[in-house]
Amino acid sequence: MTLVTLKDVLQPALRDGYAVAGLVTLGWEDMRAFVAAAEAEGVPVILQAGPSCREHTPLPVLGKMFRHLAEAASVPVVAHLDHGYTAEECRLAIDSGFTSVMFDGSRKPLAENIDETAAIVEMAHRAGVSCEGEIGFVGYSGGESSAGTDPAEAAQFARGTGVDAMAISVGNVHLQQDKEGGLDEARIHAIAAQTNVPLVIHGGSGVPVAQRTALARGTSICKFNIGTELRMVFGQALRDAVNADPDRFDRVQILKETHNPVMEATRGVLRAFKGA
């Protein structure tokens, strides 16, 4: 069994100058392809259950799916709750076998975010589980705007919460479908200079690949969340499979054809985060 915590995979990444991909899952087909890609590349992987995934499949079921894949995997696998908004949601994830939870209090005032995140960290650590927090709101493409992370507040947040990883807002945006943007490297270095916590980039699909690699190797960013670009690959593969034979109706046969395209695209994502 290679089920591990977030801390287990991020501390070596911080030490050795690489990053680990937090891959946003929506169902069995993509999470299975993600693990296959990680095995092919020989790297750890973080399987993430975000809000839209949880709307479709209950957390106890997702926990069993993640753990089942981890038990058979040849690489370390983290079962991670992405964007938990309440203590109860984080507690349910821990009870469901997740090895890592992310509490998102980034919309709250700083003091409130610190207090609530610290309580989740204590609960998680008591259960042997890692906890990621967020300081500085990361916005959404076509939706809410970001509020960049203040380096001094990031240092205060890290000290006051004891998080194992800290998500920051440095020009990254959720749900971005192109890589035309880029991250504010000056702000990243300013944050890193005041903290020693592994840093996390949400909305990694919008970050140019060359910048992903440079930041993974040269900064304390140890985790990039990738969702949109792989969902786009899955969607195209599914359309191709359906359109190839309009008379076919067996969804298992159709969904099988998404595996290889998603796995190959994921391998490309994972390669960008490897060390020098």
47 φ, ψ to 5°?
-90, 125
Residues 124 and 106: their CA atoms lie apart, in Å, by 19
- Phi-psi group of 156: left, alpha or beta (phi > 0 → left; psi -120 to 50 → alpha; rest → beta): alpha
Q: Do 273 and 20 contact (CB within 8 A), yes or no?
A: yes
Q: Which two tokens stand for residue 61?
A: 């079921």
Helix and strand numbers (H, E) in the chain are: 12, 9
User: What does the block give as tokens for 3?
Assistant: 């089920």
Please list the active-site residues: 82
- 251 CB burial (10 A radius; 0-12, 13-18, 19+): exposed
